Amino acid sequence: MSSNEQNNETPKAQIREGTNLKDFCDNLGVRAKDLINALRKEGLEVGVNQDITQEIAGLITKISGVAIEITSVEDEIKRLAASDPDELVSRPPVVTIMGHVDHGKTTLLDAIRESNIVNKESGGITQHIGAYRLDRKGHSITFIDTPGHEAFTRLRARGAKTTDIVILVVAADDGVMPQTKEAINHAKAAGVPILVAINKIDMAGADPDKAKQQLSKEGLLVEDWGGDVVSVDVSAKEKTNLDDLLEMVGLVNEMLELKGNPNVPAQGVVLEARLDAQKGPLATVIIQQGTLHPGDVFISGTHFGKAKALFDEHGKTLKEAGLSMPVEIMGFSEVPQAGDLFQVVSDLESAKRIASFRLSNLKKDTPLQKDAPLTLDQLFKSIEGGGTKELRLIIKGDVHGSVDTLNDILPNLSTDQVIIKIIHSATGNITERDIVLASASHAIILGYNIKPQQNILDLAKKEQVEIRTYDVIYQLMDDIKKAMVGLLDPVIKEIYLGRAQIKRVFHIPRAGEVAGCLVSDGKITRNADVRLIRGEEVIYEGRISSLKHLKNNVTEVKKDYECGIGLDRFKGIQEGDIIEAYTTEKVAPESL
């Protein structure tokens, strides 16, 4: 680049999110008053404690000629962690177990850890992410167990993005299935190596070669077939070849040469979050950089806190959590979002300011709509007004993984006619605030794996808010689908009444045109809808304005009788035209 080009380049300055105008000016050595006056001339009223938003940053750039870039605290630590290569040390691998439902993922992890996780799962299906540390021959491995049911795609995706190695479990007696393919796609998208475990080789009908052949069609060619994907035939139930599997994990890890900086402020990602009755908000975090200690102040999404205590997967208290360690943290202000980044910051005031900055940005996109409360059974009656329908939901669940999943799958059930809108979701039991929000927002509360207290049920009854609780996701989805059918506009069914042929047209002063008719079929009623037919063309559709027999107003004229018919707001009837009368009724649809 030439010197002239360098001189023409706009100067840049980076500031951390949550920085206010006072700190910004102090760092630059300029008077805050001068900058505030300049911003006011641009039409923006601000104070010295105002956080610098993207709008304010744009105006400062316009005023000063310095391009202001707002960066996250996580980006700062990433740059700091990589700034000194001499401080980088080897770290344990994070291994995610993925695959189709019932292919033995949790059983395999059970066998490796010699634990009994699978019996704790509802219906034998893993519904939450769990993280576990294993020490083997002086080396540590962190395992993440992800659910296999198709509804939990996002959990599997999040697991792949936080991992170094994926163990893809494929049942030898079942082969490659839909969630197997999804797991492969997630792992490939995350750019992590895949190690295949062909499980259930002890089962009747097991055919590992068939499974490997199916994998090759998905772009995974195992070493036995001349490829470069490591594959091990195992039996989690019989604990066959598990040492070989772990040995392969170690070899892949050596090739990856994973590094981290233990000396920077701790940084990680939230795998799972929940609300404990005694301990308050808790979150399981994988530490990706730095070392976490009790007492550290942190920020995670729009929440913050101070680490009051650290626990391992057995509930034992930890003095610190280092690289690649899964740790449960107590001390969050509220339950964080699963998948949120976790970052230690210098002090509580900074954490509060960053959280407030993020929350203010978030609230701009979440307006609250108000309406009357309803139940699933009352939906049809409450929305007969027409137009696109909206089913509003509040979701509460035992852990954030479940809530996260419902946030994904329920809106996807929306159609052109019915839109599902989740106005609020969180972990923990249903609270009075949830009832108030549901009442004000025309919403239904769905509880997943929780039991509302009696006082909450009583309040819900008083406020006419419906609460529905479930412990199986399929039942929840079925009920929502049924509710959506109730939300659909009813089918309009036309009921034919009769026909009348126009024999003569009369022009009556102040009454306009009146058709002298003979009812040729059925009957004509005073309140009927009609269409005027000329030849094969419909000339008019509307309603009858008057119906007479002889000189008397009547409500009905039957076949073979003469009558006078006036059409509402229509002129131009002719002899020979046909008037066809009908009514309509609304019929509830039976399916989407």
328-350 residue pLDDT tens: 999 998 888 777 889 999 899 88
Q: What CATH superfamily classification does 92-257 receive?
A: P-loop containing nucleotide triphosphate hydrolases (3.40.50.300)
Question: CATH code for 376-487?
Answer: 3.40.50.10050
Is 73 or 287 the better-scoring residue by pLDDT? 287
- Per-residue confidence band for 159, with pLDDT thresholds at 50, 70 and 90: low
User: How confident is residue 121, by pLDDT bands cut at 50, 70 and 90?
Assistant: low
Looking at every residue in the chain, the average pLDDT score rounds to 82
Q: Coil, strand or helix: which one is 219?
A: coil
What is the pLDDT confidence band of residue 161, given thresholds at 50, 70 and 90?
low
Mean pLDDT of the region 15-29: 78
Is the fold of 92-257 the same as that of 376-487? yes
Closest CA to 257 of 345, 193, 344, 350: 193
**Into which CATH architecture does domain 491-587 fall?**
Beta Barrel (2.40)
Question: Any residues with CB less than 8 A from the CB of 142 and at least 6 apart, and which?
Answer: 92, 93, 94, 95, 131, 132, 133, 134, 286, 324, 325, 326
Q: What is the mean pLDDT of residues 135-160?
A: 65
Distance CA 592, CA 589 (A): 8
C-alpha separations of 261 from 139, 283, 310, 322 in Å: 18, 23, 20, 10
Helix ranges (H only) for 191-257 are: 208-217, 242-256
For range 58-74, the mean pLDDT: 79
Relative to beta strand 194-199, strand 297-300 is unpaired
pTM for this structure?
0.59
Q: Where are the domains of the chain?
A: 10-71, 92-257, 267-361, 376-487, 491-587
Out of 58-72, 309-323, 454-468, 485-499, the most confident range is 309-323
Percent share of the chain, pLDDT over 90: 34
**Statement: residue 528 has pLDDT above 50:** yes
Asked if the model's pLDDT at residue 36 lies above 90, the reply is no
Residue 522 has pLDDT above 60, yes or no: yes
267-361, which class in CATH? mainly beta
pLDDT at 155: 54
Q: What confidence category does residue 369 fall into, taking pLDDT thresholds of 50, 70 and 90? A: very low
Q: What is the largest CA-CA distance in the chain?
A: 108
Q: What is the mean pLDDT of residues 82-98?
A: 88
Amino acid at site 407:
N
Percent with pLDDT over 70 in the chain: 85
Q: Which of 275, 272, 265, 341 is nearest to 303 (CA)?
A: 341
Other Cβ atoms less than 10 A from the Cβ of 273: the count is: 31
Nearest to 583 by CA among 547, 543, 553: 543
**pLDDT reported for residue 63:** 79
Query: How far is CA 253 from each of CA 95, 185, 224, 229, 384, rounded to the nearest angstrom?
Result: 10, 21, 21, 14, 61
